[in-house]
Chains A and B, each alone.
Chain A
């Protein structure tokens, strides 16, 4: 809804809102489902995963945009993957340095950001064809959209599955947690619920958009 009003105005803002709202990687493009379903069982995990992805998106997007004229077309995918893997390793060490509990909770999904198709997709379709600033803004938008989506799912799952939000007990001791919500099936239920809500919102606005299928591979 914000994107519509800003469409005529600031192009940077429009670009930012595209990732957050119109082309939200999770709720609209349905990309990167593996980490979305796996680590959204609590708000803190979802937030950390989202921020890690945001950092990798922005940093790799910026670097790829800067060197886009120097990279021969034939080796661009290999180069992008090396650059993305570098920033993922940086994030991996940083999270270990910040909190080991968080690192253990996120498990292998930090390393697996390398194969998150949002990042390679953004590198290939946007950063390698645009200037530095738009690439950074696009990365920020996509990363924020991904983070917001993960936190939305994580909040519902943690509230229903554990009766808490961000570790604070909200629903009191008499609340019987819906354990299924923090188990893998809960991820599908909540994601389905959110997709339904967004589809309904779009339909109400009379805006018909073709939802692209998620990419496989991980």
Chain B
């Protein structure tokens, strides 16, 4: 770096002024070219990335609601259950899954809780006709590879969520039984989750988030579930 500046020392004033202009020009042109290229690539990939994101969430919804082939987004609040596209609608986002005939197959709800390293976010399916949870799909986690991250893949653990009991008590205000994670191999009730041996903290996080979220949202959801039952046109 020192070499070129020490070279032409005959007229330092002119050298500095020309070279500053050159430096500026080189950096400006590089910056302009880079900006142009990045914007072009961004424009080109934007629809593809958005489609990927949409497909990912759709895939997750169809996984946690067995039999669903189409979905519609709603916002749930104490005022009621409104389609997400309706103006002025607020509340918690829930996804309703319908089959080919337009019949309601279930509802997908997001839940989150602190896992072993970071927040674990999942999507879970709920079917009102059996008052049960029908599947979970991990959306985001940073659990230990090979141990905690088995909450997403372990087949025995996933079996917990084929029909996990989430029925409400008689006054419809809260769950009849708390959803709890129990030690591996000691599941005796339909509202219990059999933990993965060696991944207790992650398994418990799933149980905790399902319980908290269901306690908060299912009583409200059941009040307005008829809105969803009307279905969508096939």
Nearest B residue to A79 via CB reads: B30
Q: Does B156 contact A (CB under 8 A)?
A: no
Which one, A70, A86, A177, contacts B34 given CB within 8 A?
A: A86
In the complex, are the beta carbons of A72 and B22 less than 8 A apart? yes
Closest 6 CB pairs between A and B?
A: A179-B146, A97-B48, A86-B34, A97-B45, A93-B45, A96-B49
Q: Does B234 contact A (CB under 8 A)?
A: no
Residues in B with CB closer than 8 Å to A71 are 26, 30
Q: Which residues of B contact A (CB under 8 A)?
A: 1, 3-5, 19, 22-23, 26-27, 30-31, 33-34, 37-38, 41-42, 45, 48-49, 52-53, 56, 140, 144-147
Give A151-174 interface residues, CB cut-off 8 Å to B: 161-162
In the complex, are the beta carbons of B45 and A94 less than 8 A apart? yes
Nearest A residue to B144 via CB reads: A183
Residues in B with CB closer than 8 Å to A75 are 23, 26-27
Which one, B26, B31, B53, B145, contacts A100 given CB within 8 A?
A: B53
In the complex, are the beta carbons of A79 and B26 less than 8 A apart? yes
Q: Which residue, of B5, B42, B52, has the highest number of chain A Cβ atoms within 10 A?
A: B52
**Chain B proximity mask over A170-202: 1 for CB below 8 Å, otherwise 0:** 000000010100110000000000000000000
Task: Give min CB distance, A96 to chain B, whole Å.
Answer: 5
In the complex, are the beta carbons of B146 and A162 less than 8 A apart? yes
Task: Give min CB distance, A40 to chain B, whole Å.
Answer: 12
In the complex, are the beta carbons of A72 and B52 less than 8 A apart? no
Known contacts A74-B4, A74-B23; decide if A183 and B146 are in contact (CB<8 Å). Answer: yes
Other than the given A83-B34, A86-B38, A161-B146, 20 more pairs (CB < 8 A) read A67-B30, A71-B30, A72-B23, A73-B1, A73-B4, A74-B23, A75-B23, A75-B27, A82-B27, A82-B31, A82-B34, A90-B41, A93-B41, A93-B42, A96-B48, A161-B145, A179-B147, A182-B146, A183-B144, A183-B145
Q: Does A85 contact B (CB under 8 A)?
A: yes
Give A86-102 interface residues, CB cut-off 8 Å to B: 86, 89-90, 93-94, 96-97, 99-101
In the complex, are the beta carbons of B52 and A96 less than 8 A apart? yes
Q: Can you list 19 residue pairs at the A/B interface with Cβ under 8 Å?
A: A67-B30, A70-B26, A71-B30, A72-B22, A72-B26, A74-B1, A75-B23, A75-B26, A75-B27, A79-B27, A79-B30, A83-B30, A86-B33, A93-B49, A94-B41, A96-B48, A97-B45, A100-B49, A182-B145
Q: Which residues of A contact B (CB under 8 A)?
A: 41, 67, 70-75, 78-79, 82-83, 85-86, 89-90, 93-94, 96-97, 99-101, 104, 161-162, 177, 179, 182-183
Residues in A with CB closer than 8 Å to B38 are 86, 89-90
Task: Give min CB distance, A79 to chain B, whole Å.
Answer: 5
Known contacts A85-B34, A162-B146; decide if A74 and B52 are in contact (CB<8 Å). Answer: no
A38 CA to B45 CA, complexed, in Å: 27
In the complex, are the beta carbons of A86 and B37 less than 8 A apart? yes
Residues in A with CB closer than 8 Å to B145 are 41, 161, 179, 182-183
Nearest A residue to B24 via CB reads: A75
A75 CA to B31 CA, complexed, in Å: 12
A133 CA to B23 CA, complexed, in Å: 26
A73 CA to B30 CA, complexed, in Å: 14
In the complex, are the beta carbons of B37 and A74 less than 8 A apart? no
Task: Give min CB distance, B147 to chain A, whole Å.
Answer: 6
Nearest B residue to A180 via CB reads: B146
In the complex, are the beta carbons of A82 and B48 less than 8 A apart? no
Residues in B with CB closer than 8 Å to A72 are 19, 22-23, 26
